[in-house]
Amino acid sequence: MRSTTSDDYKQRSSLKGRLYILLAVMLLPFIAFSIYKAIDINNRLEAEIQAKNLSLVKSVAHDIDEYINSTGEVLIPIANLKDVRTQNWPAVKIYLDQIVPKYPFYHLIAFVDVKGNLKVAAMSEKMAKSEDAKKVNVSDTGCYRRGIVANGIAVGDFMYSKLTGMPVTHVTYPVFDMSGKRIGLVAAAFDLTKIQNKLMKTNITQHTVISVVDNMGTYIARNKDPKKWVGKNIADADRYKLMLGKTEGTYKAMSADGTNRVYAFTTASKVPWIVRAGIDEKYILDQVRAELINHFAVFIPLLLIAIIGWVWTERDVNKLHQKTEYLSIIDPLTRLYNCRKLNNDLSLELSRAKRCKRQLSFAMIDIDHFKQYNDNNGHQLGDEALASVAEIIRNAVRDIDSVYRYGGEEMCVVLPETDKVGAAAVAERIRADVEQARFIGEENQPLGKLTISIGVATYPNDSISKEGIIKSADIALYKAKDK
């Protein structure tokens, strides 16, 4: 009897040992897969965020360029006035006093002679009296040094106005007398709070910091804590040096407030100012954690089922892994493919297009004024609208086309073997189908209905790379929104 009990004990111990070994063999790949999955999700989220931030900073840089262009349109006619060129200051003063109220985003418009003296100036009613201008010399400023030798529009550095004490940058245009001799310049003190207000109104998340830095490394505007940071110089900081000499790019660094962020930046074309947007790395890690939880909420039960199956029936879990991987490439709200799937598919389709010498088109789609729709109707109806728009897009394309959720309210379509004319026709069909659809609460939208904007890019006409195709479509989307 003792012998039998001992044998049973040994058998049970042997079975338990084999089970522990089996569990260890299965859990080690699971742990390795978990690490790989976390890295993969983190890299994907960083790439998505950098792409969205790059689009955001390009939009702000475009607005800055428009501000500078519009300032030039104001100054050039003034510089060519006969009264200005003949230095008829009383007449010039009357003229400037008449036009300054029309441009509230300028603190003043003034004439500066070749020695840097303000000869005549007109200021907005909120500013100091224009008589104070007669006592001011600006020969020590960057705007004077650049403007007095320029043959066209010139832009000065960030400074606090000598007359108003407000943060400004000066835009100048040269003035010549009737014989062609340079006699000075006309200058507009551009109110930098206009750019600041633009940043504050830009639709960005609370985890994103967007700022504008001039060519001397000085903060011109910042959406968070502007009073603390505007006017501060970061020329010696590594995060500033990483952007020098580049028109655009991405990087990771510690911000001025001690927060590690993932950044995207671009340079305005009319002025050497850098627009930069960064998102907290902690926020990204929280998103990674959330995605892992969602992923393993499906994966872990399947793993347990697999363990039971291996122990009792020696069945493998390959099909279960395939199911899990399929779920990892689907956006749960819209049931469209996600950005991970887009990156893989677009690379494959581009390779096929190059190999077969065929055209390939890519459409970027954005729901217009979607934040307003969410604010008016709530996020539940907003989610329903997103899902409905996704279904409309899916029904409007061919079987060989693929639809993806790019992020937020943005979606995109890969159109194999499609030229720009064909892609434009598909885009118009999608746009019209969405416009004809009905959504709860759409009457409060700016156009009285929920609408979309679409940008299209085609290989090889617009670009031959994946990044270039996405960027070209994104630029076309912003142009469509401006119409």
Strand order in the sheet with 360-367: 402-407, 410-416, 360-367, 452-459
Give residues with Cβ within 8 angstroms of 462, minimum separation 6: 468, 469, 472, 473
Q: How confident is the model at residue 126 (pLDDT cuts 50, 70, 90)?
A: low
Tens digit of pLDDT for each residue in 45-66?
Answer: 778 888 888 888 888 888 888 8
| Site of tokens 């209905």 | 449
At residue 1, the pLDDT reads: 37
The encoded tokens of residue 433 equal 């189908």
pTM (predicted TM-score): 0.51
At residue 390, the pLDDT reads: 95
Upstream peptide bond of 332 is cis (omega within 30 degrees of 0): no
Which of 296, 345, 301, 305 is CA-nearest to residue 37? 296
| Site of tokens 């479509």 | 473
Q: What values do phi and psi take at 172, rounded to 5? A: -125, 160
Mean pLDDT of the 373-383 span: 92
The proportion of the chain whose per-residue pLDDT surpasses 70, expressed as a percent, equals 81
Which of 338, 221, 225, 222 is CA-nearest to residue 291? 338
Count Cβ neighbours within 10 Å for each residue of 408-431 and write b for 16 or more, e otherwise: ebbbbbbbbbbeeeebbebbeebb
Tens digit of pLDDT for each residue in 102-120?
Answer: 887 788 898 999 999 988 8
**Weakest mean pLDDT among 55-64, 191-200, 402-411:** 191-200
Q: What are the structural domains of the chain?
A: 42-316 (3.30.450.20), 339-482 (3.30.70.270)
